[in-house]
Structure 1
Amino acid sequence: MKEKVVMTILRRIMIAVLTFMLLATPAAWAVSNYIAISLGTVGVGTRAVSINTGGQVAGEGSLDSGVYHAFLFSGGAMRDLGTLGGAYSSGQGIDEAGRVVGYADTSAGVLHAFYYSDGTMQDLGPSGGPRSFGNGINDSGQIVGAASTDDSSTYAFLYSDGAMQDLGTLGGQNSYGTGINAIGQVTGWANVDINSGDVHAFLHSDGTMKDLGTLGGQNSYGYGINASGQVTGESSTRSGGEARAFLYSDGTMQDLGTLGGASSSARGINGSGEIVGWATAGWGGRPRAFVYSGGMMYDLNSLVVSGLNGATLAEATGINDRGQIVANTCQYAPMGCTAFRLDPVSGPPVVLPLPVVEFYNVSLNHYFMTSLPSEIALLDAGTQIKGWTRTGHAFKAHTTAQAGTLPACRYYIPPGYGDSHFFSAAPDECAITLVKFPWLFKETDAAFYIALPNTTTGACKSNETPVYRLWNGRMDSNHRYTTSTVVKSSMIAQGYIAEGYGPDQVDMCAPQ
């Protein structure tokens, strides 16, 4: 029996160590800075939706009367595209020639897909029929969207050479097309069966609609597709779970994570695989626009060096192959919003800190944190390593050495002593830990880079946030790291012991 227990412990240790080695800290990724250019307005608000390689933008603007009109931003000017005879229109897609597709009210008050070119808005039909929506266009003039039928179902369509083709479903009643690439591959979402109402993202290619699956939940939605057939969108991670941005590539759906919060959604992707969308930055936090590049998600607000004038970008909806991005100060509707085009700034790229995300395992009553995107995705998926969920708390740290920072060592505490992890940025503590506790395993000398406070006063610099370390004081040793004084007080009230410098017991100082 004793031998079996020992072997089980050793097996768990090896799994933990090998897992970390496979998820070893990636190199720091550099991203561009941007200048924000306001697109102006056709009334009292503007929301950008798509952008072409020439920097022309399509979207929708709110008129003084409160109705929305499609617009084309070109040559520094905003153009109202009008309607199909009714009150409302919305621009959704744009090709390299500046031709716009979307949907608009007819004189009968029915929404129809439209194609706008050379000053003329063409009704794509169906003639006299129910509603239709144009959502994307490629340079061959193929248009993707959705149309309703007389029985109130909706089907994804491909409009080409004057004909509207039904792309079918994944076995259910409805489908909806959202994006198209240069070779006519289409993405969107469709019902998977008649009864459940669940929808899955799809890739339609060569006459076949492929189910892209989910991230473990019931529903997924495809929004963007590039020339390589990579699809991006959002998916629930479990039944009733929060939506998460995904990238589907080479048969695999990857969770792109968040900015430290619970939710995210990817809306556009370019030929280099750079992705834009929105993500929450904290539990219950407001959405913020992101760019995902080189395996990392960045808050676009932190990358804009001029032009926002105090505004906050809530979503990014498109990115072209030159790296230009369209983003908005609010989501879904243009009233009161400002649309921006973000132009990359030439010169040395910047290296930004990444979130260190906290997880909790209720069965173990343990906390854990990591800055590794691959490890975060593994824990979020919950298939290989089960039982861990985000707490909604996170702080920032660097992936490479920066002025004033130190490497944080990461130790694994094996079963029997805690089955958890310990982090420290204090060189003397990192050095003595293995001497005092020889049963620990050092996984890395530099899990991330972060500053230490003044070792006497515990004070951090004005541009830093104090990080507190709380120890549970139990045989199953576990530490919690937090920037919240409320969490700190709550943990102390539960019997946790604060460990750090100065009267406030500050352990580390995170960049803001």
Structure 2
Amino acid sequence: MSTSHPAFALALLLSAGAAAAAPAAVPTAVRSYTVTVLPDAMSPAGINNAGQIVGTRNGQAYLWSAGGGIDLGTLGGASSTGTALNRFGEVTGGALTASGDEHAFIYSKGVMTDLGTIGGGTLTHGTAINDRGQVAGNFHAPATGWGAFVGEGGQLRDIGNLGGASIWASGINNAGRVVGSSLGQDEFHPPQTAFVYENGVMSALNYSPSGSSTANAVNQAGQITGTDWHGPESAYLYTNGMTQVLGSMYGLAAWGTALNNRGEVVGNLGGALQVPFFAFIYADGRMSDLNTLIDPALGWTVQSAAGINDLGQIAAYGCHDSEGCGGLLLALTSPVPEPQAQAMLLAGLALLGLAWRRGLSAAYRCA
């Protein structure tokens, strides 16, 4: 077939465009990251697709972006912590009131709003927030101990328990799916049961060979990551009823802390009581120590990873040979395009192909 034929040229164009728009991430083997040091020993907790990072700095919730950062304040008390953010830069966490109680909050458009309490207790804390402004979090009540809530429209709703001593909510996606852990003893020891709460029903994520697991984060596709307590602690990725145990490195325990909408997982490698030593990324079918993917001459040891966005940017915490410890932004040297951009490119190519085919058809009819 002649390669000068218009149809052949179109095929080449479409195939090249489809390859460019494919959602596959940069292969781990060629990944490398730049390191940006966040201000004043900030401790990061999450990152969105705009590259904004939420965390805590100098005892207050803090929101950082490339243009600078802002302290989010408190609810009248001495301190606050920033725990999670959504695509709009809205933040949740916990802040002390004037009476010294910790309350969950939403920070939006420059205003911190107190979400109050539930269950007769005085303590609430937001752990996750979706793009609809729904907050997942935890509360403590004198009669029942630790419980989990979903907050929406200024109202907090107890989502129940699976029969453990307490429960901990860790993540929520835009569909309102909440994930977390029902705890037999505490957050550091089994037995624990990962749970999913959706449509008013809480159910166990029954996949673990040991019957003991935690769920730490959920993405918009409903994929979940956390820790499996079978043998040595291992990170896992749960997708549509199937679980992939991601394993560990160096003989250390591993736990998944966050994932993006590509199913790429970041987490920590460490020892007893989940004390982190090194951070990892799991992508393209393999787990890699993030310290092997940055320039060692920089002098940083990346100890933990708190979040990863769809561009592959990672909010992390590390220590420097001579400059102390603090928050870091790791960015791929070859950035990954966002899924929305890929979809727009594919749609444009499809329209181009349709117009070309119509033009060819008309030309043949007139011939």
Name the counterpart of 1:236: 229
Distance 1:286 1:57, change over 3 A: closer
Structure 1 residue 93, shift from structure 2 partner:
0.6
Paired residues for 1:71-150 under 5 Å: 71-126=62-117, 129-150=121-142
In 2, Cα distance between equivalents of 1:181 and 1:274: 16
In 2, Cα distance between equivalents of 1:186 and 1:285: 25
With the length of structure 2 as denominator, give the TM-score of the two structures.
0.75
Partner letter of residue 171 of structure 1? G
Distance 1:244 1:197, change over 3 A: closer
Larger RCO, structure (CA 8 Å, separation 6 or more): 2
Question: Please, which runs of 5 or more residues in structure 2 have no aligned partner?
Answer: 1-26, 337-367
Question: Please, which runs of 5 or more residues in structure 1 have no aligned partner?
Answer: 1-27, 331-335, 349-512
In 2, Cα distance between equivalents of 1:347 and 1:81: 30
Check the 8 A contact 1:141/1:160 in 2, yes or no. Answer: yes
Q: Percent identity?
A: 37
Partner letter of residue 243 of structure 2? M
Helix, strand or coil: the match of 2:288?
strand
Check the 8 A contact 1:214/1:235 in 2, yes or no. Answer: no
In 2, Cα distance between equivalents of 1:137 and 1:187: 12
RMSD: 2.6
Helix, strand or coil: the match of 2:133?
coil
Q: Does 1:188 align with 2:184?
A: no
Structure 1 residue 286, shift from structure 2 partner:
6.6
Distance 1:304 1:157, change over 3 A: same
Name the counterpart of 1:69: 60
Q: Does 1:257 align with 2:256?
A: no
Structure 1 residue 280, shift from structure 2 partner:
4.6
Helix, strand or coil: the match of 2:39?
coil
Structure 1 residue 39, shift from structure 2 partner:
1.3
Report the number of matched residues. 300
2:314 corresponds, among 325, 331, 334, to 325
- Compare the two structures and name the one with the higher helix fraction: 2
Name the counterpart of 1:302: 292
Helix, strand or coil: the match of 1:346?
coil
In 2, Cα distance between equivalents of 1:250 and 1:31: 29
Partner letter of residue 126 of structure 1? T
Partner letter of residue 222 of structure 2? G
Check the 8 A contact 2:190/2:212 in 1, yes or no. Answer: no
1:338 corresponds, among 326, 329, 334, to 326
Helix, strand or coil: the match of 2:142?
coil
Q: Does 1:293 align with 2:286?
A: no
Name the counterpart of 2:33: 34
Check the 8 A contact 1:34/1:344 in 2, yes or no. Answer: yes
Structure 1 residue 75, shift from structure 2 partner:
3.1
In 1, Cα distance between equivalents of 2:244 and 2:71: 38
Structure 1 residue 305, shift from structure 2 partner:
3.8
Check the 8 A contact 1:261/1:280 in 2, yes or no. Answer: no
Structure 1 residue 30, shift from structure 2 partner:
3.5
Check the 8 A contact 2:312/2:335 in 1, yes or no. Answer: no
Structure 1 residue 139, shift from structure 2 partner:
0.8
1:227 corresponds, among 220, 223, 236, to 220
Structure of larger gyration radius: 1
Helix, strand or coil: the match of 1:301?
helix
In 2, Cα distance between equivalents of 1:29 and 1:310: 22
With the length of structure 1 as denominator, give the TM-score of the two structures.
0.55
Partner letter of residue 293 of structure 1? A
In 1, Cα distance between equivalents of 2:149 and 2:256: 22
Distance 1:216 1:303, change over 3 A: same
